[in-house]
Amino acid sequence: MITLTADSATDLFLAANQAVRRDGMIVTPRGMATTEVLGAHLCLTNPRRRFVDAPPARILNPAFAVAETLWILSGSDGPWIFQYNRALTRYTDDGRLQGAYGPRMRKWRGRIDQLDGVRRLLTRDPDSRQAVIQLFDPERDTRGHRDVPCTLGYRFFLRAGRLHMHTSMRSQDLWLGFPYDIFAATVLQELLAGWLGAELGEYHHFVDSLHLYDQHLSPASELPGPNEGSPPPSMPPLAVAWERMPGLLAEVIAGRCPDEAGEPWTTFAALMASYGTWAHGDRDQARASAHDAPGDLGRALERWYDHLTASARPAATVGGA
């Protein structure tokens, strides 16, 4: 069991990589060798410092981080997400990711909006211990689909005017999955805090099996230690009225953003538009729009384009996370 606390997702990621490589044991589920720690509690004290950025060993695609977050929040399981990460198609059944979080959160069994339920519950009973979003569904997830949710559920606690979030995961690929999962979860946490008129509290990430696959051990060994280098940036405050959210999400997913939405929504829309341009082959225009995107995520997207170019990946497979 490991317990780690950091002020940024980057430092939490770096510390977790050190701990797994130091304390992990070799296991081979489905014949794939991994170094695993059973039981991990990772606490992020400043959820606005949500973007993991540890170049050159680990470079993330911020457009995919944004796209996946909006895909989940909008309740979608649509195939448009594959434009941002073609690797996801390996886990589809009948062209869909059967474990997609969005429909489970926003339309459980086609009828229950769990996110709205949590919002309403904490509005009328701020001290409630029942603010739960359930993602794992035994009826669906024991049918042998390629995609089974790693996340079991989210819980929220409103205490002393601050909204704290707990995430429970049965399994977590530290190298590929964690950086994107913590980004999406803390955006959800911050939005819910805004709807409740609360301050942003701590984010707690509980994992049963935290692991690194063998092919990631070497790059993980090249990572710096936590708290080395310049402090990771904090994103600007993120807010939108509950009633306004569906329309704003649709606009941002399309690469557009009303001027009044402000940062970071304008940045999210710019990244979505830039990556759409990249995926359609206009590399120069994509780079130019990434350069013009406000904030640190725009700089991160420029690094991702450099990474794709250096890797010389075929156009049909770019976008993998």
Active site annotation includes 150: yes
H/E stretch holding 22: helix 9-23
Catalytic entry in 40, 54, 105, 150: 150
Let me know the angle formed at the C-alpha of 224 by 317 and 264, rounded to the nearest 5 degrees. 60
Contact between 269 and 257 (Cβ < 8 Å): yes
Contact between 316 and 86 (Cβ < 8 Å): yes
Contact between 154 and 119 (Cβ < 8 Å): no
d(CA 192, CA 158): 10
Contact between 40 and 251 (Cβ < 8 Å): no
User: Rg of the Cα trace of the chain?
Assistant: 19
Q: Locate 66 and state its tokens.
A: 């944004």
3-state helix, strand, coil in the chain (%, to 5): 45, 20, 35
Which residues are known to be catalytic?
150
